[in-house]
Amino acid sequence: MKKIFILTGEPSGDKLASTVVTKLKQNHSNIEYLSVGGSHLNKLGIKSIYDLKEITYIGFTSVILNLFKIRNKINKTVKEIIEFNPDILFSVDSPDFTLRVAEKVKSINPNIKTIHYVAPQVWAWREGRVKNFKKFLDHVLLLFNFEKKYFDKEGIKNTFVGHPLLENNEKIKTNLSNLIDNNKKIISLFAGSRTSETNILLPILLDFIKLMNKKFNEYDFVFHATDRNKDLIKDEVKKANFINVDVISDENIKSQILSNSVFAVAKSGTVSLEISNAKVPSIIIYKMNFINFFIIKFLVKTKYANIINIINQKEIIPELIQKECNSKEIFRSVVYFLRNPELMKKQILDINNTLNEIKSKTSSSSEASTVVSNYLST
């Protein structure tokens, strides 16, 4: 029986990994899995060697403060992988954790094939890392076709597979009548998947809702939560005594809520692609402590945070970052869009044109699983 170890470092990576594993399970029934994963892989029956939240840190300062813990987790993970002795180590995103593990595993057992899904963003910062990847990565799966040149240059095997969040998966239709008031318009809110992000962004978004409720009475607000932060969000919403706010963590329901939304306010990250793919106009927000922001500004080469904006080299989706990430600015931006429908239509048109350029021919999960399958047969 073939073995695959799936290595993720945060909830978004867990979600991406699950789309590929779902395809693999359709074509291979005789694979044994083990992982560092979260709820999505768990739902597929794949055991995690420890809770994913034990290694999910945000920002440089949090990483520095937890260096000893992280080093121990890396060593523990390497030990578990070597003992499991997989045919393939399939790592997903979170390169500062997953690739450190992959490098150590490869040095101990070169026979384990290493495939990394979601290329590190070398086009944004630390391009020199690519040279080192050649020493321990057998294959890199690229989400965006413009990344290919960086890995071709160093002779690293790579495949453009597209982004799985751009796939139009069939969803089970759920009756949302008990959640959605047909007389109200929905605004979807995303406060991040990490608790540390939610702690920063949630108060800002709750203040934004207060401002909206003072001015309008036709909107309902839905927080798209994770299993990890849903209770935190629910508690804070309850304290605020809102009657037009819901908190949803079910993936299928969240997808349908998003599709029925008139607008979205989201933390910068992969969720923005989901929103774009659902053809919902949006703005993105992000805030971190000053030290982390200063370090990122110093290191990162790109002008924008959002991938749609980066590809186009202009702001298609407004970015409210740091001091602009406050309830008044969010309120001002959202209301401006809601009062100018032609701007929302223009944003969606520009986004669709961009997405058509970065979608794979079939589906990301299919193409990624094909690469993995090829390594299983060698």
- What is the per-residue DSSP string for 287-316? ---HHHHHHHHHH---S-SSHHHHHHTS-S
Rg of the chain (C-alpha set): 21
* Strands 158-160 and 185-190, bridge-based pairing: unpaired
- Look at residue 233 in the predicted model and tell me its pLDDT: 97
Structure tokens at 59: 């920002």
* Residues constituting the chain: 378
Q: Identify whether residues 199 and 323 lie together within a single domain.
A: yes
**What is the pLDDT, as a whole number, of residue 360?**
79
What was the pLDDT predicted at 60? 40
- Residue 155 and residue 201 share a domain: no
What is the structure's pLDDT at 163? 83
Q: Report yes or no on 180 lying in a domain.
A: no
Same domain flag for 221 and 153 = no
Looking at the structure of the chain, the number of domains it has is 2
User: Is residue 81 domain-shared with residue 67, that is, in the same domain?
Assistant: yes
Give the whole-angstrom CA distance, residue 220 versus residue 115.
43
- Decide if 167 is inside a domain: no
pLDDT of residue 317: 97
DSSP string, 6-42: EEESSHHHHHHHHHHHHHHHHH-SSEEEEEE--HHHH
Q: Is 22 left (phi over 0), alpha (psi -120 to 50) or beta?
A: alpha
Report residue 233 as tokens: 């969000």
pTM above 0.85, yes or no: no
202 and 135 share a domain? no
The pLDDT value recorded for residue 302 is 65
Instruction: Give the CATH number, domain containing residue 217.
Output: 3.40.50.2000
**Are 81 and 197 part of one and the same domain?**
no
Strands (E), the chain: 2-8, 31-36, 88-92, 113-117, 139-142, 158-160, 185-190, 219-224, 245-248, 261-267, 282-286, 319-321
In a shared domain, residues 146 and 201: no
Structure confidence at residue 124 (pLDDT): 44
In a domain, 227, yes or no: yes
Residues 46 and 93 in one domain: yes
Q: What's residue 298's pLDDT?
A: 54
Whether residues 281 and 369 fall in one domain:
no
The values of phi and psi at residue 309, to 5°, are -70, -40
- Of 239, 351, 360, which Cα lies nearest the Cα of 284? 351
In a domain, 66, yes or no: yes
**Contact (Cβ atoms closer than 8 angstroms) between residue 33 and residue 10:** no
Does any domain span residue 120? yes
Q: Which of 352, 259, 351 is nearest to 306 (CA)?
A: 351
Q: What is the pLDDT of residue 59?
A: 43
Answer yes or no: do 291 and 336 share one domain: yes
- Please indicate, yes or no, whether residues 231 and 348 belong to a single structural domain of this protein: yes
**Is 179 a domain residue?**
no
- pLDDT for position 26: 93
Question: pLDDT digit of tens for each residue in the chain (378 aa)?
Answer: 999 999 999 888 998 899 999 999 998 989 999 999 999 999 999 999 998 888 765 444 455 556 677 788 999 999 999 999 999 999 999 888 999 999 999 999 999 999 999 988 655 455 567 888 999 999 999 988 888 988 999 899 999 998 877 776 555 566 666 666 777 899 999 999 888 889 999 999 999 999 999 999 999 999 999 888 999 999 999 999 999 999 999 988 999 999 999 999 999 887 898 999 999 999 999 997 666 655 566 556 567 878 899 889 899 999 999 999 999 999 999 999 999 999 999 999 999 999 987 887 788 989 999 999 999 987
- Co-location of 223 and 284 in the same domain: yes
The reported pLDDT for the residue numbered 183 is 76
- Residue 156 resides in a domain: yes
> Chain centroid to CA 229: how far?
15
For 142, the domain range is 2-162+361-376
Give a yes or no: residue 177 inside a domain: no
